[in-house]
Amino acid sequence: MTRLFLTLLLLAGQCWAAPVGWTEHRRALVINTSKDPAHDRVVSGLVKELHAKGFVVTELGDQPRTDGVAYERWIRSVPTLGVSLVYYLGRLTTEKTADGKRVCYSLQLGGYRELATAQDPDLGRNRKEDKPWLSLDRLSQKLDANTARENMVLIDCLGIDDRAQAKLSPGDLHGGAARLSGGELFTAFYPGKAAFHPSLEAPIVGPVLAETLRANLAQGSPLLPERKEDVYTVRPRFNRPYALQHEAAEVCASPEVLRAGRFAGDQWVDRNGFCFVWVPAATFRMGDAAFADAQPVNVTITKGFWIGKYEVLGRESSLFNSGGQSIGTGPLARVEDKTFNQRRYQFFRPAGIGSIDAATEQLEKWQAYLAKVGLQYEGWTYDYPTEGEWELAARAGGKTTGLPAPVKGLGQYANFADVCLFNDRDPVHYIYAHREANDGYGRALSPIGNYRPNAWGIHDMHGNLAELCSNFYTKELLSGTDPNDQTLPSTRSSRLRISRGGSWCSRPEYLHVAFRNAFTGAGTPHVGMRLVLRQGERVTRSRNEIIARMEAEVKAQNKK
């Protein structure tokens, strides 16, 4: 395929996007089951300070008929790459696991009932629930396995009701409750076992950690409250800090409510923690004269849509079974630093999902399942973006017209073929490396959200993984209203889909906002997925669906 690469276009004469700061979603769940007014005042002070730091705070404890369900929904909707904090003030209850072999410590919340999972049990392997639903063990297990950047659990324990008849001393009971599982959690528990030492007076229970955390938030101190004299504190592996790294992201609605965004770049998080950015309807000039197959045309997108803030992760794609595909993970970064958290790094590497045909059919099954269990968003559908929608989002209202930055500074915005890839001597791709740019990663995918977002706050539209679009590839851009070619010449034919944005092994021109590529294979660590939530029905059709429609049309015609 002939392509016209204009070196001058890549080096000068472009309208570069203005640097945009990162945003992160902050979520706090504050549960206060104490009936002491003095405790209420302290907890209210904590809530006020959390709000001041940009946390979206959910308060529970005074609605015994609904608190348990609200708790479960909150646990499931912690945002990708966000920070979460759970604070509990109240008594705990001991109860045994189903097999009777372990004693767990559970929150005392009313109104709990088992909710349908977001993953259809028939589409993949769900992890069997083997711990009591309100136990600290299950809470830590769920948080430790989510895709938030950091999670913290703080417990101000007012006492323990030993219903499981563990027959332990108060100190041993509190010591057992303090040992939350989950190696990646930041946890603090008051009062710990040390507070019951015979040489000490009985501990005064209350919102001790709440007051400590409130003070730390107000002063900008480390956010892990610790009272060394009487608190048993579990620190996560690799000894990294729990920190608020970026600006707090604002959302237009709760995860239960889906509506059109208020403005371009508005943000929202769904029930599963997927983060989305609003792209309004628009007419724009698509393409660029530098590329033979992308000569400029006028395109109108008639409906605004929500597009993923990040590329889809493997843990997220498991909700719809990744289209039944074997997830391509791509090469791992080689890091000599022994404190580097390889496990968390792998959490945030996007998944190589190369078959639209497979993923689309599974997305449809997932949508049907969500509707069946009452978890769907009425009038909205998860889908791939069309090529026009992808470029509209990448251009961010005209703020990006080519590359997001000059090539030498492109490493701030994208993971591509740079000096790191050259130094890694990848067997093939290093020969394309631009040795004057440095993105920090060589022959490897970078974690999502690792580079500057575009002007609407969308990360990794350029580089890391090339992203598949709904359309079949055409030799020229399609113009007009909502262009989207979903046709085949015959029931025995196949066509190539389109990938956009370039990947970790692409040379700089592939990252141009108008560059198009015909995707030729499914098993690759170079191509991934970015979800959209669109108004109306899914527009992407698998090859099987297109052929079935063609055959139905032929049958209908023959009956006439």
Instruction: Concatenate the DSSP letters of all residues of 189-225 into one string.
Output: EES-GGGG-TTSPPP--SSHHHHHHHHHHHHT--SS-
- Give the position of tokens 């983060």: 275
> Model confidence over 195-222: pLDDT tens digits?
887 887 888 899 999 998 998 899 887 6
Q: Say if residue 16's pLDDT is above 60.
A: no
- Give the position of tokens 């449809």: 364
Whole-number pLDDT of residue 15: 35
505: Cα within 13 Å, side-chain hemisphere? 16
Whole-angstrom CA distances from 204 to 38, 191, 207 are 14, 8, 10
Whole-number pLDDT of residue 175: 86
Edge to edge, what strands does the sheet with 516-519 contain? 516-519, 497-500, 466-472, 527-528
Contact 297, 287 (CB under 8 A): yes
Query: Which pairing describes strands 480-481 and 297-301: parallel, antiparallel, or unpaired?
Result: parallel
Q: To which H or E segment does residue 234 belong?
A: strand 232-234
Q: Which residues pair with 24 in a beta bridge?
A: 248
330 confidence band (pLDDT: 50, 70, 90)? low
State both tokens at 167. Answer: 């027959």
Q: Say if residue 421's pLDDT is above 90.
A: no
Q: What is the dihedral of CA 261, 266, 269, 275, to 10 degrees?
A: 120
End-to-end CA distance of the chain: 43
Q: Can you give the length of the chain in residues?
A: 560
Of 160, 165, 164, the closest CA to residue 178 belongs to 160
What pTM value is reported for the model? Answer: 0.91
Question: Which of 69-83, 219-233, 239-253, 508-522 shows the lowest per-residue confidence on average (mean pLDDT)?
Answer: 219-233
- Helix/strand number for the chain, H first, E second: 12, 21
Q: Say if residue 365's pLDDT is above 50.
A: yes
Average pLDDT, the chain: 86
Q: What is the 3-state secondary structure (H, E, C) of 432-490?
A: HCECCCCCCCCCCCCCCCCCCCCCCCCCCCCCCCEEEEEEECCCCCCCEECCCCCCCCC
Identify the three-state secondary structure at position 86: strand
Q: Say if residue 452's pLDDT is above 60.
A: yes
Our CA angle for 316, 339, 242, nearest 5°, is 60
Phi, psi of 545 (to 5 degrees): -65, -40
Contact 135, 105 (CB under 8 A): yes
Of 514, 75, 81, 139, the closest CA to residue 294 belongs to 514
Mean pLDDT value across residues 323-349: 60
Distance of CA 62 to the CA centre of its chain: 31
Query: Which pairing describes strands 26-32 and 83-96: parallel, antiparallel, or unpaired?
Result: parallel
Identify the three-state secondary structure at position 140: helix
Mean pLDDT value across residues 57-81: 94
Distance in angstroms (rounded) separating the CA atoms of residues 311 and 459: 8
548 confidence band (pLDDT: 50, 70, 90)? very high
Distance in angstroms (rounded) separating the CA atoms of residues 351 and 523: 12
Q: What is the 3-state secondary structure (H, E, C) of 300-366?
A: EECCCEEEECCCCEHHHHHHHHHHHCCCECCCCCCCCCCCCCHHHHHHCCECECCCHHHHHHHHHHH
pLDDT above 70 covers a percentage of the chain that reads 86
Contact 505, 323 (CB under 8 A): no
Contact 461, 512 (CB under 8 A): no
pLDDT above 90 covers a percentage of the chain that reads 57
Contact 525, 328 (CB under 8 A): yes
Whole-number pLDDT of residue 229: 55
Q: Which of the listed ranges 5-19, 215-229, 284-298, 508-522 does the model predict with the highest average pLDDT?
A: 284-298
Whole-number pLDDT of residue 107: 95
In 208-282, alpha helices (H): 208-219
Q: Say if residue 429's pLDDT is above 80.
A: no
Whole-number pLDDT of residue 343: 62
From-to residues of CATH 3.40.50 in the chain: 24-247
Q: Say if residue 54's pLDDT is above 90.
A: yes
Distance in angstroms (rounded) separating the CA atoms of residues 555 and 560: 9
Identify the three-state secondary structure at position 98: coil
Of 69, 55, 76, the closest CA to residue 114 belongs to 69
242 confidence band (pLDDT: 50, 70, 90)? confident
Question: Which of 156-170, 320-334, 529-543 shows the lowest per-residue confidence on average (mean pLDDT)?
Answer: 320-334
Q: Say if residue 441's pLDDT is above 70.
A: yes
Of 558, 117, 141, 190, the closest CA to residue 366 belongs to 117
ω into 447 cis (within 30 of 0): no
Those residues with Cβ within 8 angstroms of residue 553's Cβ, 6 or more apart along the chain or in another chain: none
Distance in angstroms (rounded) separating the CA atoms of residues 140 and 156: 16
Q: Say if residue 186's pLDDT is above 90.
A: no
CATH of 24-247, one of 3.40.50, 1.10.3470, 3.30.1920, 3.30.2450: 3.40.50
284 confidence band (pLDDT: 50, 70, 90)? very high
From-to residues of CATH 3.90.1580.10 in the chain: 251-547
What CATH number labels 251-547?
3.90.1580.10
Distance in angstroms (rounded) separating the CA atoms of residues 443 and 423: 9
Mean pLDDT value across residues 49-66: 94
